[in-house]
Amino acid sequence: MRSLFRATTSLTFGLLFAGALAGCGGATTPNGGGAPAPSPTVAVDRQAAGLMCAPVGDCGVGDIGPGGGVVFYDAGSTQPWGRYMEAAPAGWNGGSGDPKVMTCDKAPVVITAAESESIGSGLANTEAIVAVCASGAGVLAATYTGGGKTDWFLPSKAEMDELFKQRETVRGFEDGYYWSSSRNSAGSSYRMHFPIGSSYYDYKNGESGVRPIRVF
């Protein structure tokens, strides 16, 4: 009888002890649920990780785009011009830095079709520039064929503003001015100063940097 009592007591104590241990798991089971607490969000350097936009699906800023560039803008939904913008990668022209050229070899010249400053207008601006100029920033951007794509262009003023915001993600920008495709007059076009962020219209026959972009 004593042996049976000791066995029963030992079994009861063992079950109570196991239950107490199970109750200690509250730190990993919030709100009394059975799922473990989520891990902290880890920031990923998408460009360094080589993450690429899937043929079908969403892209993230910092992903490698279809043209081999770096995605720097997402409109959030499909627009008439597309949804995403990617910038040519650092060294896109085969050199150690972005090339510096005049905006047009025929400056000053009136290009009335290249006046738009809005998001989505850079391609049309560049096409208007190429129709008039034989060389310069617009032509240099338009003739880039990175990733086998032939639709690269010089960003508009608003597109350049977005590119500046993501300069640390895109990388490779040098200290100095970069041309946009948005003209102000026969003799001047908008340009952005990297990395300071100041911007204004300047004479087209001055030399500034070029970084092509494309939309998709």
What integer pLDDT is reported at residue 45 of this predicted model?
A: 72
For position 44, what pLDDT does the model report? 64
Mean pLDDT of 33-50: 53
Q: Amino acid identity, residue 203? A: Y
Better pLDDT: 140 or 198: 140
Contact predicate 97/88, CB 8 Å:
no
Is the model's pLDDT at 173 over the cut of 50? yes
Q: Average pLDDT for residues 9-32, to the nearest whole number?
A: 39
**pLDDT value, residue 54:** 65
pLDDT in tens, 134-166: 999 999 999 999 999 999 999 999 999 999 999
pLDDT at 152: 98
Between CA 205 and CA 208 the distance in angstroms is: 9
What confidence score (pLDDT) does residue 101 get? 92
Which residue shows structure tokens 């607490």?
37
**How far lies 135's CA from each of 36, 126, 160, 189, in Å?**
61, 12, 21, 16
What is residue 163's predicted lDDT score, i.e. its pLDDT? 96
Taking 80 as the threshold, does the pLDDT of residue 119 lie above it? yes
Q: How far apart are CA 154 and CA 214, in angstroms?
A: 8
